[in-house]
Structure 1
Amino acid sequence: MDLSSVFSLDGKVALITGASKGIGFGIAEIFAAAGAKVVISSRRQQTLDERANFLKSQGYEATGIECNVSNMSELPSLVEQTVAKYGTIDILVNNAAVNPVFGLIHETSLEAFDKIMAVNVKAPYELCRLCYPYLRRSSGASVINISSVGGISPEANLGIYSVSKAALLSLTKVYAKEWGDSKIRVNAICPGLIETKFSEVLWSNDKTMTKILQQLAIKRTGTTAEIGLMALFLAASASSYTTGGVFSADGGFTI
């Protein structure tokens, strides 16, 4: 067996949200190295252009398309521009997320609640719907939703964020069940503490880190590449019989 072929994304088109940095860009870089044409999206075109140019300098095919996923009216354009550039969409990675609140759940405002749910749940729901006509025509369609260990078990001071990530896991399973006949696989990854700007409030706090490390079997933070490699498995034909799955990459936090 040629194992390189089952992990190849050669010729596939991947749309990745929240991809100008952190986990999203880590996934984009690995997908591009595996042969995919990647569209990276976030809120700032200048940053996206810089990141896309970096990927191109490595010999990869990449394009940046600005989109604020909290604004539902911008999502159709993101999909349309991707298709106009590359002709289709084979892989969708819903990675963009937000958490403007760190504190007790009863202190979370309705405004913050709405913002978290819009980005973390509503946007993935709508992007899946918009990408469906293209995914169903693909020979190897895959949707990967980036959830969190908080979606499996609520994390302290991350109440509504955890709720939104639990909802994303349920959404993953519903789409997987309903889209099986269309040969579209839908899976979720639940990262633990990955050292990114998004999670800096946790890993930059020595007291918090000491508590977290005590709960880990692998006593360190994770890397974006480690999430990207799991995403590669779920995007490639290596996982062709895998759908509706929830995969943790958390150093043993949820054991």
Structure 2
Amino acid sequence: MERTLDGKIALVTGASRGIGYEVAAGLGKAGATVVCVARNPERLDEAVYKLRADGTDAVAAPCDLSQPGLVTRLPEKIDALGEVEILVNGAGIVGNRTSKTLKATYSEWRSVSAVNLDAPFLLIQAFAPAMMARRSGRVVNISADEGRMTGPGTTGGVAPYRVAKAGLNALTRNFAYETGLGRRGLFVDAVAPGRCRTDLGGPNAPRSAAEGADTVLWLCTRPAAQPDGSPAPTGLLWQDREVIPW
């Protein structure tokens, strides 16, 4: 990957494993300083050690994203590094895989929503204003096919997860329109990476975590303008670098 992100700071949640780790590694290879966020400090330290050994300028910022108070204090913890220009909301939890709407407990509903939807909302509120002021920034939300209103999307089962990811899709599209669809220098997109071999996708998934990270990295590094000078398309749901229906 070309070093197109030299001097930039990227924050990646869920960076201790799976797709989040691959995103952090890819952004590091592109030259970014990567703030790695995850709940488990020990596992996060191991991931950051490995990233640094591979040449990435990585910083560990442990945070339990299910706790709003801790999320809102995260910017203070990394303020000395400078302003975040790339935000990748990659952390996600499924909850009980057998949960349906009438079976899910409220505590499960809230815990899944807290990580998959509330934390991205709070982090966007924390870091996007500076991106808009600089007229330069990328927000990429890692969603899922289960959150789509088409295809396999919200067709029943795993209710807290599906609904939270559908909400993340709605947040992506709504915020992209609020910020002018790239005309103010901020690009906001979602990625459905497909089922990957991660803790969430399982060992028999058809895709690797690196394959799941590819479109995220592309969105973080692609040119902001098209050949005719108009902003790159944004406010969309992507898979394999192609737009797919919400």
Shorter-chain TM band: 0.7 to 0.9
Residue number in structure 2 paired with 1:185? 187
Counterpart in the other structure of 1:35: 31
1:47 alignment partner in structure 2: 43
Distance in 2, Cα, partners of 1:235 & 1:10: 13
Q: Secondary structure at the match of 2:141?
A: strand
Alignment of 1:67 onto 2:52:
no
Q: CA deviation at 1:238?
A: 2.8
Structure with greater proportional helix content: 1
Paired residues for 1:55-94 under 5 Å: 55-84=51-80, 86-94=81-89
- Cα distance in 2 for partners of 1:96, 1:63 equals 17
- Other-structure match for 1:97: 92
Q: Deviations over 1:160-206 (max 9, x none)?
A: 21111111001001111112354211000012210101222xx55xx
Residues 175, 186 of structure 1: 8 Å contact kept: yes
TM alignment of 1:1-255, pairs within 5 A: 4=2, 8-84=4-80, 86-105=81-100, 106-138=102-134, 140-152=136-148, 153-154=153-154, 157-180=157-180, 182-200=184-202, 203=203, 221-238=206-223, 240=225, 241-249=232-240
Displacement of 1:227 after TM fit?
A: 2.3
Structure with the bigger RCO (C-alpha within 8 Å, sep 6+) is 1
* Segment drifting more, 151-160 vs 141-150: 151-160
Do the aligned residues in 1 keep the contact of 2:99 with 2:160 (CA within 8 Å)? no
- Identical pairs, percent: 30
Against the structure 1 CA distance between its residues 196 and 239, is the aligned structure 2 distance closer, same or farther, given a 3 Å change threshold? farther
Structure 1 residue 141: deviation in Å? 0.3
SS state at 1:238 partner: coil
Q: Deviations over 1:42-67 (max 9, x none)?
A: 11222222211211112220001110
Give the letter aligned to residue 239 of structure 2. Answer: S
Q: Deviations over 1:178-237 (max 9, x none)?
A: 12354211000012210101222xx55xxxxxxxxxxxxxxx611111122211111114
8 Å contact 1:192–1:249 — kept in the other structure? no
Distance 1:155 1:193, change over 3 A: farther
Give, in whole Å, the separation in 2 of the partners of 1:38 and 1:167: 26
For structure 2, the 5+ residue unaligned runs are 226-231
What is the CA–CA distance in structure 2 between the aligned matches of 1:182 and 1:142, rounded to whole Å? 11
Contact persistence 2:154–2:162 (CA under 8 A): yes
Distance 1:57 1:49, change over 3 A: same
Q: Is the 8 Å Cα contact of residues 147 and 162 (structure 2) preserved in structure 1?
A: yes
Counterpart residue identity of residue 192, structure 2: C
For residue 155 of structure 1, report the CA deviation from its aligned partner: 5.7
For structure 1, list consecutive stretches of 5 or more residues without a partner in the other structure: 205-219
SS in structure 1 of the partner of residue 78 of structure 2: helix
Q: Residues 10 and 17 from structure 1, CA distance in 2 versus in 1: closer, same or farther, beyond 3 angstroms?
A: same
What residue in structure 2 maps to residue 210 of structure 1? none
Q: 2:219 aligns to what SS in structure 1?
A: helix
Q: Distance in 2 between matches of 1:98 and 1:248?
A: 20
| C-alpha distance in 2 between matches for 1:112 and 1:139 | 38
